[in-house]
Structure formats: structure tokens, C-alpha cells
Amino acid sequence: MSFVEYSDLVRDGDVAIVYMGHESMMPVKVRQGAQTQTRYGVIRHSSDLIGRRYGSKVTCSKGGWVHVLHPTPELWTVNLPHRTQILYSTDIATITMMLELKPGAVVCESGTGSGSLSHAILRSIAPSGHLHTVEFHQQRAEKAAEEFKEHQVDRLVTVRNQDVCKDGFGVTGVADAVFLDIPSPWEAVRHAKTAMKRRASRASLGTGLIKTNTLLCVHIPAARFGSRPVVFIWRCRGRGQQWRLDRRGAARLHLTGEPAGGGPAERACWAHWDHYELWEQSQFSQEEPETLKRHFVASSTQNKERQRKSRNDPKTF
């Protein structure tokens, strides 16, 4: 059993998904002689699981039944043990598409967290690609490495326990794509550039906060990514936002979906940033990022004023 290769039969040592309903699933480590307790009764691994085909209906000791499913990144996302907040399939699909991941690609990721996105990346780049993933927290890094080995994808991934903002990804000029999911991604922009190939595909850098993405937009041009397109993709509380630094160097904020809550203040905030464009990258000098930063501070002040007015006059928006 592997998360990137399909097997027909359940074998000793596999991780299988016991499906009891759409809202009730659990991962099970299959072991000879072991048992798993469910609300429908006991599942005996030796007689009920090992040797069965994935997708089979298994009858439990109380007469109820469950299905045993082959693990996939999507099923793992909804069943994994949460060590951090995670990305779910909707966002993961957008990220893997925008990063243009394909078999054989080399990807750098930080932070690893619970490994939800990591498993999806590994399936996208298998069988010959490689994932370099960095996790600051030692116990989370060790647990992620243990899970990758258990899921038989450890040959495709290297887990490093270090601070990506200070130490980088540990590789130079090898990555086709970079993804940052850390509290201060702008501090790792220079390391992302170092890790990427000269003609890399994409870098995805972002958080759920407009202020953080603003700081990223200040640091991206200063890093001189050249013609490499940089994509910001994130969803925050049900809202979608996408920053894109295209081949001409122009960065735009595109909004997808509706703001969570839908209040006038929320709509004012998002309307203010819709279709906002930065200057051409070629126009930047060493002093201009500070000018851009001051411009965003002024924009933020204007945005607060719009929110204040919207509370007094909800019909404005």
C-alpha cells in the first residue's frame, strides 16, 4: 500500500480507511491479530481485512457493516491527526493547479504541519519527483517523517527540522515550485529564490491576512525573481484571494467567493482591495519598497474610514 500507488488487496502493515459514513471515517493500521472497535462491532484484522480487496464491505461482530477503502490524500486530509491547522481539498486543488505540479517536479514546502498538503503534492509529483519540506517544530517534523515512512512515500520526501526564515530549505537551484505556509513568509522570500531553478515554474507565497500579503508584495520585487511568475493563493474564513505577479511584473489581487459573514464592513474591506494593481516590477529601486509600504499604510487608513462609514450607512455597499 502506498499513498501514490494503488494496491488491490489489503496487506499486513497497510494504513486503510474504515468508512462508516460520510461523516464517520477513521484510519486503521492493519496488523496481524489486531482488532478495531467500531459502533457496529469489532473488526478482526486477520480475518476481516487482510487479503480483502479495497472497497469491500466488511461485516462487524454486531452485524453492522463498513467499507474498507484505499487511502488517498483526500481521505487522509479528513482523517489525519491534527497537529496544526490544515489545508483542505478545495484549497489544495487550487494550489497544486496554480503551482503547475506534475510528475518529476521538485517542490519546496514550509511548514509541513500535519502533512495534509504534503501528501497531495507527493501524489502530484510521483513517481520521480521530490518534496523538500521544512518544519520548525521538532516533534511535528519527526511525526511527519514517521507518517511518510508508514505511508511508503519516504523515498519521495526529505523532511528537515529547521527555521526556513533563517536557514532556508537546505537546497539551491533545484525547485520547480515553492510553497510557504508560515507566519512571516516575507522573511523566507530570499530563501525561496535561492531554492528555485533559474527557470522555475511557480512560487506560491501567502497567508490569510491582507496585511501579510502586503508585506510580501514589498519584498517580492526586492528579491528580483526576474521572469519567474509568483502566485499568492490563500483562503481565509471561507474567502478566496489570489495575488499574482505575472510575467510583466504586475501584481494583482483577485477575489474569489463571497466574504464570510457578508456584513457591510466585510464587503467594504474586500471591495477596497478588489483589482488592486502594483507598479511594474521594473519600476522598483532600493528606495521604492518603502514608498510602496507607506502607500499601503495610507490605503489601510482609507479602508478603515470606509468600514466606519459602512457601519453608519449599511446601504452604502
**String of DSSP letters for 53-114:** BTT-EEE-TTS-EEEEE---HHHHHTTS--SS----HHHHHHHHHHTT--TT-EEEEE--TT
Residue owning grid cell 508584495: 217
| Residue 164 vs residue 299, higher pLDDT | 164
Decide: residue 151, CB within 10 A, 0-12 exposed, 13-18 middle, 19+ buried. Answer: buried
d(CA 190, CA 167): 11
pLDDT tier at 186, thresholds 50, 70, 90: confident
Using CA atoms, how far apart are residues 93 and 272, in angstroms rounded to an integer? Answer: 27
- What length does the chain have? 317
Assess if CATH 3.40.50.150 describes domain 89-308: yes
**CATH fold of 15-71, please?**
Vcp-like ATPase; Chain A, domain 2 (3.10.330)
Contact at 8 Å (CB) between 172 and 195?
Answer: yes
Cell 500535519 identifies what position? 114
The CB density around residue 277, as the number of other CB atoms within 10 Å, is: 9
- Between these two residues, 161 and 192, which has the higher pLDDT value? 161
pTM score above 0.75: no
Q: Cβ distance 247 to 227 under 8 Å?
A: yes
Q: For residue 16, what is its C-alpha cell?
A: 486503510
- 127-148: pLDDT as tens digits: 999 999 999 999 999 999 999 9
Q: Where are the domains of the chain?
A: 15-71, 89-308
C-alpha cell at 230: 509568483
DSSP 8-state symbol, 47: I
Question: Facing residues of 135 across strands?
Answer: 161
Between 277 and 20, residue with greater pLDDT: 20
Plot region of 168 (φ>0 → left; ψ -120 to 50 → alpha; else → beta): left
Distance between terminal CA atoms of the chain? 54
**Residue 126 CB contacts under 8 Å (≥ 6 apart), including other chains:** 4, 5, 103, 153, 156
pLDDT confidence of 44, banded at 50, 70, 90? very high
pLDDT of 144 reads: 97
Of 55, 72, 78, 89, the closest CA to residue 1 belongs to: 72
